[in-house]
Chain A
Amino acid sequence: MTEKTPTLDTASESKYRIIGKRVDRYDAADKVTGQAVYGADVHPSNLLYGKVLRSPHAHARILSIDTSAAEALEGVHAVITGADLPSVSDRIVDLGETATSLRYQSDNILAKDKALYFGHAIAAVSATQPYIAEEAVSLIKVEYEILPPVLDVRKAMRPDSTLLHDDIFTDELGQKSTQASNVASHIRHAQGDVEAGFRQADVIIEHEFETTMVHQGYIEPHNATAIYNPSGQITIWCSTQGSFGVRSQTSDVLDVPISSVHVIPTEIGGGFGGKNSIYLEPLAVLLSKKSNNRPVKLTMTRAESLAATGPTSGSYIRVKLGADANGHLTAAKLYLAYEAGAFPGSPVGSAAGSMISEYRISNVLIDGYDVVVNKPRTEAYRAPGTSNAVFAVETVVDELCEKLGMDPIAFRLLNAAKEGDRRPDGPTHPRIGFIETLQAAQSHDHYQTPLDGKYRGRGVACGYWGNWGGRSSVSASMNADGTISLITGSIDLSGTRTTTAMQLAETLGIDLEDIVPQVADTNSVSNTEGTYGSRTTFATGWAAHKLGCKLIDAVKERAALLWDIPVDTVDYEDGCIFSKANRLTFKDISKYLDETGGPLMVSATSFEGGHGPSATTHIVDVEVDPDTGKVDILRYTAIQDVGKAIHPDFVEGQIQGGVVQGIGWALNEGYFYNDEGQLLNANFLDYRMPTFLDVPMIEAVLVEVSNPRHPYGVRGVGEVPIVPPPAAVANAIHDAIGVRLTALPMSPARVLEAVWEQTPSAYLG
């Protein structure tokens, strides 16, 4: 067991009283006793239970649906099908980290003419008991005309491919093509002259890569409970990353005013990008409406969650990199074809913007394709689209280092981007800490300690992610005892009530215990984007800082009234309000609220740019079992520029969790479809996420290169940790057994095949 590593504080601040301390988490006690209420725990009076019928076919026309037997079953209250959803327009709706056409969003929630993937929702039922609802859906008769499934991204792109939709016309670099296609769009980033760049190169490496869909794998499946009351007011309880997103999406899909939808977010059992879009909410509302306005709860099984929500794209990627003899990258040519699933909207754009952005390269050409296939519609997953792309890029970088005989960290230091350099997709880098992470990696005990042993190897890989800011809203009320009730619209996935309160306490100079943070529903706070894009501690924290500044102004005004002096003669410092002759603590002002105007309440919002990108360097040691192909992780170190770690425990936790998800993606996780497009591993035994036994301690090293554009130097931390692991593990496997793997997951079977290919005699034993 390794010891906790102290924070490497390059920003040199011990100037904070609260920020940077490992304080108690506000909601922890409720979460260790079972009192915290998650979506599936909600139980309004007179509750009914719902169940969704899903398509067993990947691609089929729906000829008829007969719900009569289900409706006749005792205990059944309502049955709905696609015909119950209002027809909606083609306008674009925001899903948080992704966007889609409203019609596609509606069609994903309930299929209309065609089922487009195995697990696509066809109908839904409400009943007095969950098992009656289950029995009822089995009584619904659907007549399908089975169509050929489109399952391979490259085949889907061919002009003669079967089409999923007859109304998708490729957006070809901004121009709509005239022939229907499965390719929804083609994007390109070009810089310099890539062919000239390759002519300058002394070493050129090119490889093709293939990766399969992987799932976010949150332990809590999707759920929604809704009431449609007799006056048309809708209340929804659900586990979501963003309550305001649920409100707007539900109002769009049901074509009802946004003001009629009240979303009460519960605690949430993990999201990782997969709980921004709605799935069940409109169904629960419609079922309630048809069930005499009784509340209806829908929860997904694990199989439904894997087959019909979430995953991120499988992909086909080509990477060609050139470097001169001194190790300078001269050109990069990248080709990405991403599975969007059944509707357009893969993260190919964010992949293109981040897969190689930590390097300085003058000549770059990136082509990206968003392609529909008969698989579930993809959703955001932690640094969307980037891990698989970086698996490709960093594998080729590793091979360049090998051919040049250069140390992988020295090579990266030579090519590392810094402030002022331009990203291949246009933007110029603000202050980033990539170089600092490389330097910390180089001098780290892990890198300095030689790794001995046959079949053992070490890999290095890096990652970059842009992060996000967005809209946040908070408010504060002063209580009778001078404590503050802090209301935030940000869903708390992993401690952001606390990190938001810490930033407010720091600004006010008061004790953290004097702030009571709470996540509010959509009627109680203003618009707040979901907890995604590594944005919450950055943006909601910024709003909390502004809130603190406004509170300081407010209490100064109250003190000026109380002391009967001009407000500009009142000062505030370290939690105290004072003038030449007077002094009060922040809390004390609560005693004088009535005589200075009554209750004190302040709100603040933020919608800032300035989110700082994250860069990271990972080192991993593996051991490969040559007989079984199994790869064991021996040691893992993740070194990340975290800006300012508001709560170091939580930042380490983000890194450790992201790394282990990345290890799962590297070694075991992946969707397996049969030729008919049916998902064969829709359970946690066969969709094999890392367990306690599969991983060692994960050392998280926090490098703090303060984000100059945030009041407390915060940059997002949650997403970039998942970016390097597949590449780092692949490079370590190469170091161990001399084989380059170019497909994910690097399962025992794949590793073994690669070993046999390399040494056919190994196959013969």
Chain B
Amino acid sequence: MTEGSNNSQSNNGKLVLKLVAVVIGMFGFAFALVPLYEVFCQVTGINGKTSDTAAIYESIEVDHSRMITIEFITRTNTGMPWEFKAQTRKVEVYPGEMNQVDFYVKNNTHKDYVAQAVPSVSPGTAALYMNKTECFCFNNQPLAAGEEAIMPMKFYVDPQLPKDIKFFTLQYTLYDVTASAEGVAMNQG
């Protein structure tokens, strides 16, 4: 008779273990969402992030049949006191052709800073076709107090860019990463 209750106790134990496994699994799943999200966005390009590593330019055929207008927007995050401008606000390019745009930064303060530029393309799908061979956003950028610099960005637009995109915007936001930059090299594009 007590057997019966032992039985049900061990049944309970088994079920509890399974349920706890689900709980732990779902806790892990929350963290797995982070890389999943990254991969998903990279594959689909829906969050407008451009690749954070340099593309390699192989001589490809330039598509002279259409022109793409690209606008550059710069902003500094709250609490980031640098001056930050694109030297060229707007370019018109042929897909497949190499281009360069320079950005001007100046640390107007009396303090040394390290900055990190984070790109965002709108509409997001265009990000997949925005290939940068060189970009200041691949590394963080230190500037001593009062220092200024010209930061180049070289890119070409993939000729595969969907035909309906004739215009897109690339925005850079400059973040203050002085505190976390010590020692850690940031590699964000």
Q: Do A and B come from one complex?
A: no
